[in-house]
Amino acid sequence: MDDRDRLEQLKERHDFDRGAIGAAEDLGWIIACLCGVLAYDFWHSWLLSAVILGASYFVATFRYRKSEGTAEDAYYRAAGLGKYYTPTGTPEGAPPPAR
């Protein structure tokens, strides 16, 4: 497999996971609100329902956030972007230049 093909696959995976996290966040808020309302109906406590709302949102989106972070890291590593960027002329093992 060519490096360009691999880079394109990683970019497509990253784009797909970014879209999935967007959909998961939208659906996660709906799930979280329903859980919060049901918790309030059962226990009649606004504090507990707020905690359940936050926890259910975190649980509903955790897998997608983790997958998107992994895909982004793999793409940035292969493309040499972000924290993996090395300026031209800098040896591979050398520390980054001071700012």
Write down the pLDDT at residue 29: 97
Residue 22 lies in a domain: yes
Residue 98 lies in a domain: no
Residue 43 lies in a domain: yes
Write down the pLDDT at residue 10: 94
Domain count, the chain: 1
Write down the pLDDT at residue 63: 96
pTM over the 0.95 mark: no
- Contact (CB, 8 A) for 70 and 38: no
The domain containing residue 51 runs over which residues?
A: 3-78
Residue 97 lies in a domain: no
What would the pLDDT profile of 13-69 be if each residue is shown by its tens digit?
Answer: 999 999 999 999 999 999 999 999 999 999 999 999 999 999 999 999 999 999 999
Residue 34 lies in a domain: yes
Q: What is the DSSP string of 38-83?
A: HHHHHH--HHHHHHHHHHHHHHHHHHHHHHHHHHHHHHHHHHT-GG
Residue 83 lies in a domain: no
Return the closest-CA partner of residue 71 out of 25, 27, 20: 20
Residue 72 lies in a domain: yes
Write down the pLDDT at residue 83: 87
